[in-house]
Amino acid sequence: MLPINFGEATAPLAPPTLFNFGPLPITNSMVYGVLMAAIVLTLFALAARASQLWPKNKLAFWLESFTDLVMSMIIETFGGERKRAMRHFPLLITLFVFILACNLSGLLPGVGSITYNGSSLFRAWTTDLNSTLAMATLALLTVHVYAISEIGGRGYLRHFFSGSLKSPLTIFIGVNELLGEVLRLVTLSLRLFGVIYGGEALLVAIEVLAGNFAWAAALPIMFLEIFVALVQAYLFMMLTASYLVMSVSHGESGSEHQVKPVQAQT
């Protein structure tokens, strides 16, 4: 057996509280999340100031190219409906960029070594289950509010209970659909948290086992974590976009079936 306790080396599941802001406890993941949000906003603000038809600033050029790439993926997800896609584009690209920045922030040197009151001052936002749960809740609340605004309250309920409400089978299927919405919340939050937190724990374990050669042993894992960070941010954004598309699909198909008989009579 190895005389190593990896649990002591890795960050605890619950982030420690650094200080209290009134009744609100401020954790190290919240501090780092706010810092990363400020950095992302600053970069995009600088790029927006330098933006023009033919950008001469490299930062503006790369950010505009990145924005165009993400926009094309979102429009394709919405079936080419640019107007509908652009309605949700600000939320989707914000989720992608912020999650990607937070995923990568835990790999920066010195993150775990800077302490405050005996605790690490910084912790990646996405290694806190509370944070990923909050983002998943925001995403799914947006999906349901959008569905109600597009197809109405009745159409929204019929999205879950599509048959006769007198049928037990319809009730059973509807309840399962509602449970599926809860599972979406769980899977969105747990997938992001588990993969990013597990990756950082793996890095710590590799470094402890490698000893003096920790830098060489951790290097390939670092590249893998960068790739995983990109994939997880992409998955969160695209799943949210897919949920937005599916949230009104039933209402649209139902409206088409209602129009066809009227056209046949005329």
pLDDT tens by residue, 237-259? 999 999 988 877 654 544 433 33
Q: What angle do CA 180, 185, 191 make, to 5 degrees?
A: 110
Task: Say what the pLDDT of residue 256 is.
Answer: 39
Query: d(Cα 224, Cα 209) in Å, to the nearest integer?
Result: 18
Task: Say what the pLDDT of residue 259 is.
Answer: 34
The residue assigned the tokens 């080396």 is 9
Q: Which is nearest to 180 in space by CA: 194, 160, 158, 166?
A: 160
Ranges of the chain with pLDDT below 50: 1-8, 251, 253-266
Task: Say what the pLDDT of residue 264 is.
Answer: 39
Domain boundaries defined on the chain: 26-248
Q: Which is nearest to 160 in space by CA: 238, 231, 250?
A: 250
Are 29 and 123 a contacting pair, CB within 8 Å? yes
The residue assigned the tokens 């505009």 is 64
Task: Say what the pLDDT of residue 169 is.
Answer: 77
Reading phi first (left if > 0) and then psi (alpha if -120 to 50, else beta), residue 79 is in left
Q: Which is nearest to 137 in space by CA: 96, 190, 101, 197?
A: 190
pTM above 0.85, yes or no: no
Task: Say what the pLDDT of residue 9 is.
Answer: 52
The residue assigned the tokens 């793996």 is 202
DSSP string, 34-71: HHHHHHHHHHHHHHHHH--SS--SHHHHHHHHHHHHHH
Are 207 and 6 a contacting pair, CB within 8 Å? no
How is residue 32 written in tokens?
A: 């780092």
Q: What angle do CA 201, 207, 208 make, to 5 degrees?
A: 90
Q: Which amino acid is at 172?
A: F
Task: Say what the pLDDT of residue 53 is.
Answer: 61
Query: d(Cα 16, Cα 214) in Å, to the nearest integer?
Result: 27
